[in-house]
Amino acid sequence: MDQLEIKNLTLAFGGIVALHQVTMKIRKGEIHAVIGPNGAGKTSLFNCISGVYKPMEGDIRYEENSILHKKPHQIASLGIARTFQNIELFRHMNVIDNLLLGRHHRFRSGPLSGVFFWGRALREEIKHRRKVEEVIDFLEIEKVRKKTVGTLPYGIQKRVELGRALSMEPKILLLDEPTSGMNVEETEDIARFVLDIKEELEVTVIMVEHDIAMVMDIADWITVLNFGSKIAEGTPFEIQTNPKVIEAYLGEGS
Partner 1 sequence: MVIRSKTFRESYYEDIKLFQTVWIRVWIFLFLILLATLPLWGNPYVIYLINLSCIAVVAALGLNLLIGYTGQISLAHAAFIAIGAYTTAILSSKVGLPFWACLFASGGVAAAIGFGLGIPCLRLKGLYLAMATMSFGVVLENVLITWDKLTGGVRGINVAKISLFGYPLDSDSKIYYFLLVITVLVILGIKNLVRTRVGRAFIAIRDRDIAAEVMGVNITAYKVMAFTISSFVAGIAGGMYGYTMGYIHPEHFTLLLSIQYLAMIIVGGLGTILGSIFGAVFIILVPELIKGIARFSELLIPALKGKYNEEWNIAAFGLLIMIFLIFEAGGLHGIWGRIKTSFKNWPYTY
Q: Which is nearer to partner 1, 121 or 222 (CB)?
A: 121
Q: Which stretch binds partner 1 (CB under 8 A): 24-32, 95-103, 179-187, 245-253?
A: 95-103
Dist CA 141 CA 89 (whole Å): 15
Q: How far is the CB of 165 from partner 1 (least distance, A)?
A: 8
Q: Are strands 16-27 and 2-13 parallel, antiparallel or unpaired?
A: antiparallel
Q: Which is nearer to partner 1, 37 or 110 (CB)?
A: 110
Residues 52-81, one symbol each (x = binds partner 1 by CB under 8 A, - = not), give x------------------xxx--xx---x
Dist CA 82 CA 50 (whole Å): 8
Question: Binding to partner 1 by residue 169, rule CB under 8 A?
Answer: no
The amino acid at 8: N
105: Cβ–Cβ under 8 A, 6 or more apart, which residues? Answer: 73, 76, 77, 168
Cα angle 193-36-19, degrees, rounded to a multiple of 5:
110
Question: Binding to partner 1 by residue 129, rule CB under 8 A?
Answer: yes
Question: Binding to partner 1 by residue 247, rule CB under 8 A?
Answer: no
Q: Which is nearer to partner 1, 139 or 219 (CB)?
A: 139
Q: Are strands 16-27 and 65-66 parallel, antiparallel or unpaired?
A: unpaired
Dist CA 111 CA 33 (whole Å): 40
Dist CA 222 CA 64 (whole Å): 22
Q: Which stretch binds partner 1 (CB under 8 A): 115-123, 185-193, 194-202, 208-216?
A: 115-123
* Positions that interact with partner 1 (CB under 8 A): 50-52, 71-73, 76-77, 81-82, 84, 88-93, 97, 100-102, 104-105, 107, 109-111, 114-117, 121-122, 124-126, 129-130, 133, 164, 168
